Amino acid sequence: QQNVQQSPESLIVPEGARTSLNCTFSDSASQYFWWYRQHSGKAPKALMSIFSNGEKEEGRFTIHLNKASLHFSLHIRDSQPSDSALYLCAVSMGYAQGLTFGLGTRVSVFP
């Protein structure tokens, strides 16, 4: 059974700083890796995904994936107060397996 762990549980960063979030997974056969973001009282929304080892950048956001280490991360450059949210990582094994989510990292960015 897949086990997805996130660290840290919470993070407080000043506006303009770099934020780094971590996610580890237990099953080396995992294929798809996602970050979702959930603002308070709102629905989770997909932020970014990565399907092969390496790095992917979209605007201020970068994902790193290292399958051998069973680890992927999300980095936010120039953090903004609007980035304050619960960040959820998620992993899938493939066809008809659904997504397994971590417990989340709560990020607070103060001006």
Partner 1 sequence: GGIITQTPKFLIGQEGQKLTLKCQQNFNHDTMYWYRQDSGKGLRLIYYSITENDLQKGDLSEGYDASREKKSSFSLTVTSAQKNEMAVFLCASSPRTGGGAETLYFGSGTRLTVL
- The site for partner 1 (CB under 8 A) is made up of 1, 4, 6, 31-32, 34, 36, 42-46, 49, 51, 86, 88, 90-104, 106
Q: What is the DSSP string of 39-82?
A: -TTS--EEEEEE-SSEEEEETTEEEEEETTTTEEEEEESS--GG
Q: Which run of H or E residues covers position 17?
A: none
How far is C-alpha 87 from the geometric centre of its chain's CA atoms?
6
Nearer to partner 1, 42 or 77 (CB): 42
Least distance CB 95 / partner 1 (angstroms) = 4
Cβ 64 to partner 1 shortest distance, Å: 19
Q: How far apart are CB 6 and partner 1 at their closest, in Å?
A: 8
Nearer to partner 1, 34 or 62 (CB): 34
| Residue whose tokens read 């399907």 | 51
CB of 85 to partner 1, least distance (A): 11
The answer to whether residues 90 and 102 touch, using CB atoms and an 8 Å cutoff, is yes
